[in-house]
Chain A
Amino acid sequence: MALKTIRWLLWVPLILFVGFVALVASGLVTPSTHEIRSQLIGKPLPDFALPPALPAKPGLARVELGQGKPRLVNIFASWCVPCATESAQLATLKRAGVEIDGIAIRDRPEDLTRFLGRYGDPYARIGADRDSSVQMALGSSGVPETFVIDGAGVIRLQHVGEIRPEHVAGILAAVEAAK
């Protein structure tokens, strides 16, 4: 079209292209993680009340969290392989005095009993989230995930994926900070 009249316009495509290359090059160098993080960090826990996942243990409701002491809420499932691998770290955290509650996603009591019998049971309470609705209310998108809730019921930390031995110190620090 009327490109002849305005010489500087001819350089616009090249400049746009350089911008494109810079953008995708930065995208290649620091690839985006596929992790979707909860937007509720620093905000109070939404209200919920889950029935007990096992007959012998109480369920989990919003009112039990934020009673003055920080707690961990561990979102897990018996059918999830990474959940089994973090059991040792959960036990370590429990020994360090951290109180841990569980939310069992889409789980059946008999599977859960077997799972806890095999990998240990660090939980004070376990709520049964049969259709992932509380998981979604928390902004969690997978299992396992672990939330640190402070004494006032505010979400302080979301740990996505299994807790590996190197993550324990960070989570302990977050619990300490939430006191």
Chain B
Amino acid sequence: MTAELGLAALWLAAALALLQLALAAMALAGREELLNGVRPVAVVQAVLALLAFAVLIRLFVVVDLSVELVALNDASTKPLLYRFAGAWGNHEGSMLMWVAILGLSGACVALLERRLPERTLVATLGTQAAIGLGFYAFLLFASNPFQRLVPAPAEGQGLNPLLQDPGLAFHPPTLYLGYVGLSIAFSFACGALLTRQVDAALARAMRPWVLGAWVFLTLGITAGSYWAYYELGWGGWWFWDPVENASLMPWLAATALLHSVAVLATRDSLRAWTVMLAVVAFSMSMIGTFLVRSGILTSVHAFAVDPRRGAFILVLLALYIGGALALFAARAGTVQEGRTFEPVSREGSLVANNLLLSAILGIVLVGTLYPLLAEAVTGEKLSVGPPYFNAAAGPLALLLVTIMVAGPLLRWRRDRLAALGRRVALPAGLALAALIALLVAAPGVRLLPLLGLVLAAGVALGSLAPLWGRNLRRTPMFTWGMVIGHLGVAVALAGMASESAFTRETLVALAPGQTAQVGPWRIRFDAVEPIAGPNWTALEATLQADRGGAPLLLKPQARFFPSPPTETSEAAIATRWDGQLYTVIGKGDEAGRWQLRLWWKPFVTLIWLGGALIAVGGVLSLLGRVRRERRAAERLAWL
């Protein structure tokens, strides 16, 4: 019975989305009396979508095998956490989660947003409903999560073991929150184009959603990268794989949007450009989802691939993005561009930031699609991978990071280069010192990592410069957010460059009792034992690592999951303040020796620590902005 309740809620939610769209369209067409009806409909739609999603979670937790999706993806032997998270660890469930979050965000806009003109808000909610409607149709007609299975099997088929991991259980929801947040920015942009109200008020309404989405995307990418690092078992943290690129593209667009929204909100400039970026950011989320789901590109992370569903998503994507871009082309010409500024100014640096981020986005997008394009044109297969992306995007990223130091130290509208020079003298000095130290102490580091390390040192100090000479307690929270976010970039850059420059690798076949050396560590291989986990069995090696001081115990495993039959490699990772020791057990041979892969990765953890700092910076900015706006609103109310 429960499954039917979920399906009914889903149909009702879809009907309400249709109603919401119709009401908004009629209200904008002149039936002003309908303006007030849109907000409540958005709220009820959200409640129904959330109800449907809650029903699905319940079906997974109680393992109701009479539902096809549960039978295919769940198993009563799974731990509770994975039965719970299994609800969205599959195509249908994840799409349902997507519309539930979309509905929830629409309800939040409907309940909270008071700054925009009512017509723009209604146009925004109408756009939201249109987006929701497409995904409801997708669920109901092409991916019904509540489909019954007759007869019900005795046991479910389980979840892909690679996905049975706490990090990954919460990775998709995080990314989805980011995507949906960008859909709100998209709706705001379309709403404002429809009512021709592109101004600073729009930017202020959009900003918290962009910031929130950006925080979730940052967390999602950081977590996804760490997951790939420890789960795939090869010590790499970024492969420029199509699926990774698909998650990076919306982040790049959102980062650019975040900064251009700041210009629009503060200086009322870059109006059409900001609207364009808002459209692009969500478009990149949809394109990313499409590339991942359609299986059109070969990826190491492809789990849920289905060309038929790919076609459905492509139609939705063509309608929404094509519609928004056509609206932009027709309306953006009437948008006043706002104020001008001098090249050496805060705005100038933010334009450079947008330019570089957009160029990197273009490189990632075109590089990801180029094999498809080349094969369509010439029939020849082609691969575009790390050598291209590093060479093409790496220098631009380093330039971007350099400008990141200068930007916050420049005044709005106009400034002088000489004055900037004085403000960045200290960070530049530190970077120079780092360069000399590295050339002396570690010769032979390749150019890109070397530049990365040098810049990281300068940028870390430079990102703190906006705080110098200020009363720290009276510094606004969003300034703290910016400083910490930029510091996070420096920290992540330091981790990436250090991993690239200083990683030590040892591949060795050892018999029990033998030792090997990797970096400063002496590794002794003690034994291999079979062990049994809750829903897997494994061969577990025992390693002792020693570099003076107390030895560490590491237990890498080769795991086998019976349902569905899959083999995974569980790396054992020991984290120290100055890096990680990463160990993997491979095959055994007839002589009783086991293949071991050992890595010492100095300061690799800074990559994800930096990612977390960036997200913390985003949260502080968000809180700071919301607080300031609330105070401003209170002052207005007082007057």
Contacts and interface: CB of A to CB of B under 8 A. Distances in A.
Direct contact of A and B (CB under 8 A): yes
Interface residues of A, number: 23
A26 B314 contact: no
A161 to B, nearest CB: 17
A25 interface: yes
Interface stretch (A13-21, A48-56, A62-70): A13-21
Given A13-B325, A21-B322, A24-B294, A32 B375 contact: yes
Contacts of B273: 1, 3
A3 B272 contact: yes
Contacts of B294: 24, 28
B307 A31 contact: yes
Given A10-B329, A13-B276, A24 B290 contact: yes
Contact of A4 (B276, B311, B333, B351): B333
B329 A14 contact: yes
A23 B372 contact: yes
**How many of chain B's residues touch chain A, expressed as a range?**
35 or more
Nearest to B291: A24
Contact of B310 (A17, A18, A28, A36): A28
Nearest to A22: B376
Given A24-B296, A26-B376, A18 B322 contact: yes
A21 B336 CA distance: 31
A7 interface: yes
Interface string B268-306: 001011001000100100010010001110100000000
A169 interface: no
Question: Which secondary structure dominates chain B's binding surface?
Answer: helix
Contacts of A25: 314
Contacts of B307: 28, 31
A111 B295 CA distance: 37
A139 B206 CA distance: 54
A174 to B, nearest CB: 21
A21 B314 contact: yes
A34 B375 CA distance: 12
Contacts of A24: 290, 294, 296, 314, 369, 372
B328 A28 contact: no
B373 A23 contact: yes
Contacts of A13: 276, 280, 325, 328-329
A117 interface: no
Given A28-B310, A36-B381, A1 B325 contact: no
Contacts of B317: 21
Interface in B197-252: none
Contacts of B546: none
Given A10-B328, A14-B325, A17-B322, A27 B333 contact: no
Nearest to B290: A24
B396 interface: no
A24 to B, nearest CB: 6
Contact of A17 (B290, B325, B376): B325
A35 to B, nearest CB: 9
A20 B329 contact: no
A21 B373 contact: no
A59 B98 CA distance: 60
Given A4-B335, A14-B328, A32-B375, 6 more contacts: A3-B337, A4-B272, A7-B333, A10-B329, A21-B317, A21-B322
